[in-house]
Structure 1
Amino acid sequence: MSPQFNLDGEIVPAEEATVSVEDRGFQYGDGAFETLRAYGGDIFEWEAHADRLDRTCEALSIDHGIDRAELRERIDETIAANEFDDAYVKCSITRGVQPGKLTPDPDVDPTVVVYAKGLPRGGVDGESVWDDPATLQTVKTRRMPDSAIPASAKTHNYLNGILARAELIDTADEALLRDTEGAVVEGAASNVFFVHDDALHTPSATRDLLPGITRRVVIDLAEDAGVPVRTGTYEPSDVREAREAFLTNTTWELRPVDEVDGISVGGGAVTELLSRLFDELVEERHY
């Protein structure tokens, strides 16, 4: 069966899911998006994702006029149309087609696209979407500061992450980004955690980073399990010298890191514990 997309509320085959070349999402990267994970046909942490999408649209002044229930219905229809139980789902909202000028028109006729790709089952009896632990490489590209583009907004403008990934050598999976002050903030498409001095560390959300939904869930799981969590300002050497490290995002969930800048880090008890607790949470909620 051809993949089915949801384009402005209508289910259409992938080959018919086209967007105008005059759409501002294409012209300027003027759009918001969320990447979601469906487990057992249901969206994980839907309210948190919907809240963040609202914040991004507010930051971009995109008043799209689609309420949360309708947007969720479109997502559910897309998953069902593709006959997926477990899936990667992306929901994009752009300002739509407007006159060819940089200044946006406040009156918006949005373009809304939802598509899904099948993934393995999650939870206790599931399998990871990644084949191997990640290798991290510190890159020269710096994280765009919040004063330029809101760091907590998920926009169509992902050039910063693309430039960071373009620096990677063949053996690296993910870029380790620093802010303009040289502090570690995140991966190109992930949040970074590491274990040092019997505590779990992750860069503070007060720095220029996108605090992921999975990041927050993992912090909550760690605190509930009695694992001390520290947020702060770190150098790349702190990650390289860690006892263990892992990355989080919606698709990867928790992905162990086995190498940072050519230095072996390896997994460990904290990563294994939190991975198990995450799987148990998904199992309890969705299966």
Structure 2
Amino acid sequence: MKIKTAPITLVNGLFADDVAANNRGLAYGDGVFETILVRGSRPLWLDDHLQRLAAGAKQLSIPCDIATIKRDCIQLIAVFDAPMAVLKIVLTRGASLRGYTPHPASPDRIVSIAAYTPNRANWNSGIALALCQTQLSSQTRLAGIKHLNRLEQVLAAEELLRRGYQEGLMMLRGSVIEGSRSNVFCVVDGKLSTPSLSHCGVNGIMRQHILKHADELGIASTVREFGVSLLQRAEEVFVCNSVIGIWPVTKIECMHKQIGPISHLLQREFDTYFYV
């Protein structure tokens, strides 16, 4: 029976709100996380998220018990009463001695759930994008994974809040990488492109599904490096993640864009996942 409507958290399988002060996730951002849309008590692409969590944990040499984490997720969803929610999984290296050296420790898993209200207006009408002044750093060993070191995104979010934008593009040495909380796609000459993540950025679950669906629909797509000049030429631009879905872009700073047929087609492919 569902009994909860306020946010709830499990820490290592127990209902709690606190973690140890010497937790390495708190001290150093030493861990990985996932954010998952829950609609009608069904977590969207849960297994995909858990696989990415495990891959990121392996990259950081953090033990990861997927079966136990999945059990935590199911337990929270079972007692949470909201039509739509966001489930967050955080896996840290655990508590340890002072210093950066990752001594052996038992990992901590923190799984929480909270109600969520989707923004259908952004899905339908699109958004304006800023070009963030905050730049990303290159670190190939962290590229693609969703690790807890998010200060660059925090700085970008502060910048966007101050300027009145809902999302902005983040770059590395002139190359577009991603949004502050999304992946980015553009359509040039009818071909779908998304930035390479070989140096930094998060390989989003929604990004993966869009590339897969594009292939099934016969839409030519490529993963490549590109700068703002390609976005200037683009017929369409959109951002995406597995919570918001697809938000078309109608403006990038002073560049105006149209919501085009490929954006609409992909939205129709995913509409039932997020709204209908």
Q: Counterparts of 1:188 and 1:258 in 2: how far apart (Å)?
A: 17
Q: What is the deviation of 1:262?
A: 2.0
Greater shift, 237-246 or 154-163, is seen at: 237-246
Are residues 1:261 and 2:253 paired? yes
| Counterpart contact for 1:221–1:278, Cα < 8 Å | no
What is the CA deviation profile of residues 240-282 of structure 1, one whole-angstrom value per residue up to 9, with x for unaligned ones?
33212110111111111111122111311111110011124x3
Please give the TM-score of this superposition, normalised by the length of structure 2: 0.89
1:39 alignment partner in structure 2: 39
| Counterpart contact for 1:4–1:81, Cα < 8 Å | no
Identical positions, percent: 28
2:106 alignment partner in structure 1: 109
Q: What is the deviation of 1:186?
A: 0.8
| Counterpart contact for 2:7–2:115, Cα < 8 Å | no
| Counterpart contact for 2:194–2:224, Cα < 8 Å | yes
Q: Counterparts of 1:24 and 1:129 in 2: how far apart (Å)?
A: 39
Partner-residue secondary structure (3-state), 1:142: coil
Are residues 1:133 and 2:133 paired? no
Q: What is the deviation of 1:142?
A: 2.2
| Counterpart contact for 2:145–2:201, Cα < 8 Å | no
Partner-residue secondary structure (3-state), 1:167: helix
| Counterpart contact for 1:11–1:78, Cα < 8 Å | no
1:55 alignment partner in structure 2: 55
| Counterpart contact for 1:240–1:261, Cα < 8 Å | no
Alignment gaps of 5+ in structure 2 = none
Say which of 190, 196, 208 aligns to 2:188: 196
1:74 alignment partner in structure 2: 72
Say which of 84, 87, 101 aligns to 1:86: 84
| Counterpart contact for 1:152–1:209, Cα < 8 Å | yes
Alignment gaps of 5+ in structure 1 = 122-126
2:116 alignment partner in structure 1: 119
Q: Counterparts of 2:7 and 2:256 in 1: how far apart (Å)?
A: 40
Are residues 1:145 and 2:138 paired? yes
Letter in 2 for 1:140: Q
What is the CA deviation profile of residues 1-60 of structure 1, one whole-angstrom value per residue up to 9, with x for unaligned ones?
542211210234xxxx11122211111111111111223212222222111111111121
Partner-residue secondary structure (3-state), 2:113: strand
Q: Counterparts of 2:239 and 2:41 in 1: how far apart (Å)?
A: 25
Q: What is the deviation of 1:190?
A: 0.8
1:124 alignment partner in structure 2: none
Partner-residue secondary structure (3-state), 1:140: coil
Q: How many residues align?
A: 270
1:244 alignment partner in structure 2: 236
What is the CA deviation profile of residues 99-137 of structure 1, one whole-angstrom value per residue up to 9, with x for unaligned ones?
11221112x22221111122358xxxxx73857622212
Letter in 1 for 2:116: L
